[in-house]
């Protein structure tokens, strides 16, 4: 399927008219390039296009106009030159770019080809309109044929949906027994899942834009509907406001830049909306404003959609989904990931390439603060909330480009002096942090560093004591001796922490494709290992995801 898509994308690349200006801008360069040292055979070009899609597009954009990572259009890359570009790709940068060669993700030959590729004109993928979206929709089991109550006696609220990233699958694991109840095919390089407000359904989103709906009430949970909302995507969420529980879902697209509103029980598409627009500050047209994180408001029937390149937060009202109203809030460019404060009124989202966190008030529907985090490229995941003994309720983020955790005050009523300010800056084990996590029942805060420079940092996580954050790292836990330790998630009771070991699919025969290590949160000791999971990354406890507990 993916091969067909790639071939299709290449053909349409040269037919797409909407991005003519970009094509022309790069034409002169590519003509020179194709005659000289940057020439690639069609097979090499295709190989690079795939590597670029897998490793580079997320940060630099499909059109390479730059976002979390810098602009890589030929007018910029040719100035940098082959030698410098090769070094960046191989060794990474201080700004948070991973050293793809050094880490063993790509070979020397692939790095050489990529250097040429990014000095050529970027191919432009096709559009994906409602006709395509509708044609991709499959209702495998209609709601009336689904169970009317759970067909098993497992605690659905303590189940985990685990992303098996490189396998393109979702594992459903019983949080009590640690059994893998079901392994279900999902989208290509599947990215995240979210839960319906009832906790019955799991919605997954793949990097190919495929959304699957999994019913946890089935004896063996399985897909009941699927749809492809775009060709490249990262986010999905559901309607959570009172009266709209389980009614709708929304999928955010990276390419084409758009979102699609779906029926929550069947995934039937209702409305498609393009996010093509102008940057909030300079009001320049942007050809690729991607939908980054999405959260569901608890104050109104609204989704908070973070439009990365334009720096706008869109509050999309879904009460009349065929005629959605959108309030656009100016925030900051390159919005990425974020989470609610403990009251779920304020959404804190990283504008990562600007080293800032924007705070959106979902009740008053406005921006309340733009905070300089003091570190390079904040990356909170959804962040972590706890009560600091000195500053009251706080939320925190780690950083990709700095070995630092920034703790931000979130209580403007009782702690106005610390609200929306960095109140503590704590040392991490390393840069390359992606996720931070806690639970209201825990005394600890957990932080990973899967993009750390040293292998031992990538395989470890650290724990901080909420009551004594000033003391720095309380304990470093080595999770595995291979792969990357990534993403923590608590069980429903908040007394276990699950950490993924993201290995290589190719190392499955050595038992090193991946596993989940379960820690006892009280003693900070290992409690269980769920072995032989192919490349687990994000994992989501049903209850904690439903209620946004982190």
Give the nearest distance from C-beta 505 to ligand DHE in angstroms.
Answer: 13
87, two tokens: 């070094």
Computed from CA positions of residues 361, 367, 371, 373, in that sequence, does the dihedral angle turn out positive or negative? positive
Binding window for ligand DHE (CB under 6 A); candidates: 57-65, 310-318, 360-368, 416-424: 57-65
Nearer to ligand DHE, 280 or 347 (CB): 347
The binder of ligand DHE chosen from 40, 163, 313, 462 (CB under 6 A): 163
The binder of ligand DHE chosen from 230, 394, 538, 544 (CB under 6 A): 538
Concatenating the DSSP letter of every residue in 397-434 gives EEESSSSEEEEEE--TTT-TTTBTSEEEEEE-SSS---
The reply to whether 235 sits near ligand DHE by the rule CB under 6 A is yes
Q: Provide the angle, in degrees to the nearest 10, between the axes of the packed helices 108-117 and 42-51.
A: 100
Phi, psi values for residue 165, rounded to 5°: -55, -60
158, two tokens: 């303590």
The reply to whether 381 sits near ligand DHE by the rule CB under 6 A is yes
Computed from CA positions of residues 319, 248, 361, 371, in that sequence, does the dihedral angle turn out positive or negative? negative
Choosing from 48, 56, 195, 211, the catalytic residue is 56
The reply to whether 537 sits near ligand DHE by the rule CB under 6 A is yes
Quick check: is 130 catalytic?
A: no
Question: How far apart are alpha carbons 32 and 40 in whole angstroms?
Answer: 13
Question: How far apart are alpha carbons 135 and 384 in whole angstroms?
Answer: 40
The reply to whether 125 sits near ligand DHE by the rule CB under 6 A is no
Quick check: is 191 catalytic?
A: no
Quick check: is 469 catalytic?
A: no
Question: Are residues 528 and 518 in contact, defined by beta-carbon separation less than 8 angstroms?
Answer: yes
Question: How far apart are alpha carbons 274 and 289 in whole angstroms?
Answer: 9
Question: How far apart are alpha carbons 259 and 56 in whole angstroms?
Answer: 22
Question: How far apart are alpha carbons 161 and 159 in whole angstroms?
Answer: 7
335, two tokens: 């919005």
Give the nearest distance from C-beta 151 to ligand DHE in angstroms.
Answer: 28
Q: Closest CB to ligand DHE belongs to which residue?
A: 58
Q: In a 10 Å sphere around its CB, with 0-12 CB exposed, 13-18 middle and 19+ buried, how is residue 48 labelled?
A: buried
The reply to whether 65 sits near ligand DHE by the rule CB under 6 A is no
Q: Which residues pair with 427 in a beta bridge?
A: 404
438, two tokens: 């806690």
Binding mask 333-372 for ligand DHE (x = CB under 6 A): ---xx-----------------------------------
For residue 29, the SS3 value is helix
Binding mask 167-206 for ligand DHE (x = CB under 6 A): ------------------------xx--------------
The binder of ligand DHE chosen from 382, 415, 458, 512 (CB under 6 A): 382
Choosing from 59, 197, 211, 218, the catalytic residue is 59
The reply to whether 486 sits near ligand DHE by the rule CB under 6 A is yes
Give the nearest distance from C-beta 25 to ligand DHE in angstroms.
Answer: 24
Element (H, E) at 236: strand 232-238
Quick check: is 211 catalytic?
A: no
Choosing from 191, 286, 379, 439, the catalytic residue is 379
The reply to whether 383 sits near ligand DHE by the rule CB under 6 A is no
Binding window for ligand DHE (CB under 6 A); candidates: 15-23, 51-59, 259-267, 457-465: 51-59
The reply to whether 434 sits near ligand DHE by the rule CB under 6 A is yes
Binding window for ligand DHE (CB under 6 A); candidates: 12-20, 43-51, 55-63, 98-106: 55-63
Concatenating the DSSP letter of every residue in 271-317 gives EEEE--EE-TTT--EES---EEEEEE-SSSSEEEEEETTTTEEEEEE
Nearer to ligand DHE, 415 or 437 (CB): 437
Give the nearest distance from C-beta 254 to ligand DHE in angstroms.
Answer: 7
Number of chain residues interacting with ligand DHE (CB under 6 A): 21
Question: How far apart are alpha carbons 98 and 4 in whole angstroms?
Answer: 30
Element (H, E) at 2: helix 2-13
Element (H, E) at 380: strand 378-388
Give the nearest distance from C-beta 52 to ligand DHE in angstroms.
Answer: 10
Give the nearest distance from C-beta 234 to ligand DHE in angstroms.
Answer: 4
Quick check: is 379 catalytic?
A: yes
Nearer to ligand DHE, 133 or 190 (CB): 190
Nearer to ligand DHE, 192 or 227 (CB): 192
The reply to whether 22 sits near ligand DHE by the rule CB under 6 A is no
CA distances from 316 to 102, 133, 305, 329, 481 (A): 42, 20, 7, 11, 45
The reply to whether 477 sits near ligand DHE by the rule CB under 6 A is no
The reply to whether 238 sits near ligand DHE by the rule CB under 6 A is no
Nearer to ligand DHE, 190 or 225 (CB): 190
Please give the residues from 260 up to 299 whose contact with ligand DHE meets the rule CB under 6 A. Answer: 292-294
Question: How far apart are alpha carbons 358 and 139 in whole angstroms?
Answer: 38
Length of the chain: 550
Choosing from 336, 399, 415, 487, the catalytic residue is 336
Nearer to ligand DHE, 23 or 436 (CB): 436
Question: How far apart are alpha carbons 438 and 549 in whole angstroms?
Answer: 9
Q: Give me the active site residues, please.
A: 56, 59-60, 97, 336, 379
> Which residues are at the interface with ligand DHE (CB under 6 A)?
57-59, 163, 165, 191-192, 234-235, 292-294, 336-337, 381-382, 434, 486-487, 537-538
């Amino acid at each position: 399927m993916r091969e067909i898509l790639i071939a299709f994308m290449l053909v349409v690349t040269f037919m797409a008219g909407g991005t003519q200006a970009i094509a022309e801008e790069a034409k002169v360069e590519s003509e020179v390039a194709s005659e000289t040292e940057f020439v690639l055979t069609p097979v090499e070009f295709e190989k690079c296009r795939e590597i670029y899609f897998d490793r580079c597009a997320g940060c630099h954009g499909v059109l390479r106009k730059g976002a979390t990572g810098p602009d890589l259009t030929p007018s910029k890359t040719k100035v940098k030159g082959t030698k410098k570009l090769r070094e960046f790709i191989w060794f990474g940068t201080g700004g948070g770019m991973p050293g793809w060669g050094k880490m063993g993700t790509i070979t020397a030959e692939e790095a050489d080809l990529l250097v040429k590729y990014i000095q050529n004109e970027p191919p432009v993928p096709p559009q994906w309109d409602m006709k395509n979206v509708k044609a991709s929709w499959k209702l495998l089991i209609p709601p009336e044929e689904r169970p009317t109550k759970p067909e098993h006696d497992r605690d659905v609220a303590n189940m985990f949906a685990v992303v098996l990233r490189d396998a393109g699958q979702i594992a459903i694991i019983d949080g009590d027994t640690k059994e893998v109840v079901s392994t279900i095919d999902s989208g290509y390089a599947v990215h995240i899942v979210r839960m319906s407000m009832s906790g019955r359904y799991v919605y997954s989103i793949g990097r190919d834009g495929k959304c699957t709906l999994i019913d946890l009430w089935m004896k063996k949970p399985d897909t009941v509907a699927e749809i492809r909302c775009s060709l490249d995507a990262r986010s999905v969420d559901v309607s959570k406001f009172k009266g709209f529980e389980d009614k709708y879902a929304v999928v955010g697209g990276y390419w084409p830049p758009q979102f699609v509103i779906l029926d929550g029980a069947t995934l039937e598409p209702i409305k498609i909306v393009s996010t093509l627009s102008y940057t909030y500050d300079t009001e320049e047209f942007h050809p690729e404003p991607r939908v980054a994180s999405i959260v569901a408001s608890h104050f109104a029937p609204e989704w908070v959609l973070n439009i990365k390149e334009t720096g706008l937060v869109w509050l999309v009202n879904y009460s009349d989904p065929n005629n959605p109203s959108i309030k656009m809030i100016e925030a900051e460019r390159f919005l990425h990931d974020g989470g609610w404060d403990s009251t779920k009124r304020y959404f804190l989202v990283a504008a990562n390439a600007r080293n800032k966190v924007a705070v959106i008030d979902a009740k008053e529907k406005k921006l309340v603060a733009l905070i300089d985090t003091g570190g390079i490229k904040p990356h909170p995941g959804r962040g972590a909330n706890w009560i600091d003994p000195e500053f009251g309720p706080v939320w925190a983020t780690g950083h990709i480009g700095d070995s630092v955790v920034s703790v931000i005050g979130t209580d403007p009523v009782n702690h106005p002096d610390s609200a929306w300010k960095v109140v503590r800056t704590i040392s991490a084990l390393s840069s390359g942090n992606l996720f931070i996590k806690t639970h209201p029942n825990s005394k600890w805060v957990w932080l990973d560093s899967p993009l750390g420079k040293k292998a031992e940092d990538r395989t470890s996580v650290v724990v901080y004591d909420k009551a004594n954050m000033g003391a720095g790292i309380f304990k470093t836990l080595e999770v595995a001796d291979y792969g990357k330790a990534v993403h923590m998630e608590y069980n429903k009771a908040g007394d276990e922490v699950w950490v993924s070991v993201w290995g290589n699919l190719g190392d499955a025969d050595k038992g090193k494709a991946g596993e989940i290590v379960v820690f006892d949160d009280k003693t900070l000791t290992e409690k269980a290992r769920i072995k032989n999971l192919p490349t687990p990354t994000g994992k989501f406890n049903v209850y904690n995801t439903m209620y946004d507990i982190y």
